[in-house]
């Protein structure tokens, strides 16, 4: 059980993590048996941030509710799309779709029909059939968002507001915010220096990460999720996690957790629930390196993921070495005297430019599973679901 933490203690931990990683601001909250403790450092605890992909559990909640009413079939492809994957498969990232759209999203516009136009177009397919492998896909949630709009006979945003946000009294959660905390991006991956991010956010992206929210609202949403067991059933597995409808299913400190991180456009977020203790943790930052500060906080709160060393000999490690690619992602796995290292690059979906991240050492935690042992992304998992395929959120194939 996570030990009780006072407001002063949580504030001190948040301040230490923020200072260590040079994050502009961090807001944190813990909910235990209905009682919240919330603090902010560099920001107020009730300030509004973009929560990025923490939006996805809200979308899955709405889709499940529509299915309960007979308005949406989770086990059929979303109406008006060209994909074979079902809504259930798309909500659990096993739809066989690339993470991002193959072209510019500007062509779909910003009006109420934008999402429906995108849904009717052809997304990029991966070389894996629906239901075959976990591979994180924002596009899948855009298609579900369009299906929600059709089923609700309104816009996607209005359906979320009427059916999820308003009933829970989430007054600071919306797809548009009047006075949000500004987001900051590092001047280069791994850098201490930041610059303000003032870029836009295409409307069609909203179902995968468009919500703004605050720590108080996230904890209130978390409390509504403790009994949503239909969302917490494992549907597909990845490296050291399973995935349900809109939620990652992990283990933290020996306890089952449901959770979702968020990362986009100058913000990093995380929402974690421990249902058996009716405990929830929410953290919002306005920096692209906020995940590092959040990871430190989780360690101090005894909410770190559980993974033990799994020794592999040099020959076993060498079998994983090579170059792997997926749309928008490049991974180079290199063996050296310290074991296996990851060189990672990805194409930023907003700037559409490639970013190369600092090299990170990989720690074996299973026969085919690894954990990043250092750097800003310490604790992130990587695995090999089959020969020639690596899963680092997105499934990538060996090219040499």
DSSP string covering 264-285: ETTEEEEEEEEGGGTEEEEEEE
Tens of pLDDT, residue by residue, the chain (400 residues) = 677 899 999 999 999 999 999 999 999 999 998 999 999 999 999 999 999 999 999 999 999 999 999 999 999 999 999 999 999 999 999 999 999 999 999 999 999 999 999 999 999 999 999 999 999 999 999 999 999 999 999 999 999 999 999 999 999 999 999 999 999 999 999 999 999 998 889 999 999 999 999 999 999 999 999 999 999 999 999 999 999 999 999 999 889 999 999 998 899 999 999 999 999 999 999 999 999 999 999 999 999 987 899 999 999 999 999 999 999 999 999 999 989 999 999 998 988 889 999 999 999 999 999 999 999 999 999 999 999 999 999 999 999 8
Measured distance CA(135)–CA(127) in Å, rounded: 11
Domains parsed from the chain with CATH numbers: 9-303 (3.40.710.10), 314-398 (2.40.128)
Q: List all residues 6 or more positions away from 178 whose beta carbon is below 8 Å from its beta carbon.
A: none
Instruction: List b or e across 352-382, with b for residues whose CB sees 16 or more CB atoms inside 10 angstroms.
Output: eeebebeebbbbbbbebbbbbbebbbbbbbb
Q: Are 73 and 85 in contact (CB under 8 A)?
A: no
The whole-model pTM stands at 0.97
Q: Are 363 and 379 in contact (CB under 8 A)?
A: no
Q: What number of other Cβ atoms are within 10 A of residue 125's Cβ?
A: 18
CA-wise closest residue to 337 among 355, 365, 354, 317 = 317
H or E element that contains 326: strand 322-326
* Backbone φ and ψ of 364, nearest 5°: -65, 130
Q: What number of other Cβ atoms are within 10 A of residue 92's Cβ?
A: 25
Measured distance CA(300)–CA(38) in Å, rounded: 16
**How distant is the alpha carbon of residue 107 from its chain centre?**
26
Q: List all residues 6 or more positions away from 49 whose beta carbon is below 8 Å from its beta carbon.
A: 27, 180, 181, 183, 212, 213, 214, 267, 269, 284, 285, 286
- First CA to last CA across the chain, in angstroms? 46
């Amino acid at each position: 059980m996570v030990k009780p933490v006072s407001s002063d203690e949580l504030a001190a931990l948040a301040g230490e993590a923020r200072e260590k990683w040079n994050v502009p601001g961090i807001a944190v909250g813990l909910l235990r048996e209905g009682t919240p403790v919330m603090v902010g450092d560099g920001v107020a605890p009730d300030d509004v941030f973009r929560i990025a992909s923490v939006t996805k559990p809200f979308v899955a909640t709405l889709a499940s509710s529509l299915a309960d009413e007979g308005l949406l079939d989770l086990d059929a492809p979303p109406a008006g799309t060209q994909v074979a994957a079902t809504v259930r498969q798309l909500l659990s990232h096993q739809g066989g779709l690339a993470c991002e759209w193959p072209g510019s999203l500007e062509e779909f516009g910003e009006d109420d029909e934008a999402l429906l136009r995108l849904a009717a177009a052809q997304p990029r397919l991966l070389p894996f059939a629906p239901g075959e492998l976990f591979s994180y896909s924002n596009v899948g949630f855009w298609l579900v968002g369009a299906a929600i709009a059709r089923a609700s006979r309104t816009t996607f945003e209005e359906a979320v507001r009427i059916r999820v946000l308003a009933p829970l009294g989430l007054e600071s959660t919306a797809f548009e915010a009047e006075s949000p905390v500004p987001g900051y991006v590092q001047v280069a991956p791994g850098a201490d220096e930041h610059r303000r991010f003032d870029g836009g956010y295409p409307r069609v992206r909203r179902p995968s990460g468009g919500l703004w929210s605050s720590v108080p609202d996230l904890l209130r949403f978390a409390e509504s999720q403790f009994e949503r067991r239909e969302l917490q059933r494992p549907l597909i597995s990845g490296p050291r996690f399973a995935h349900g409808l809109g939620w990652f299913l992990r283990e933290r400190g020996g306890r089952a957790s449901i959770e979702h991180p968020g990362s986009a456009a100058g913000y990093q977020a995380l929402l974690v629930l421990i249902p058996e203790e009716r405990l929830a943790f929410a953290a919002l930052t306005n920096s692209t390196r906020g995940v590092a500060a959040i990871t430190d906080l989780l360690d101090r709160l005894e909410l770190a993921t559980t993974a033990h060393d799994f020794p592999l000999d040099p020959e076993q490690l060498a079998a994983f070495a090579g170059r792997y690619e997926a749309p928008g992602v490049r991974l180079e796995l290199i063996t050296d005297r310290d074991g296996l290292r990851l060189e990672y690059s990805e194409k930023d979906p907003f700037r559409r430019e490639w970013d190369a991240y600092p090299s990170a050492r990989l720690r074996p935690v299973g026969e085919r599973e690894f954990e990043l042992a250092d750097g800003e992304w310490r604790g992130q998992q990587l695995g090999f679901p089959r020969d020639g395929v690596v899963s680092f959120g997105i499934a990538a194939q060996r090219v040499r």
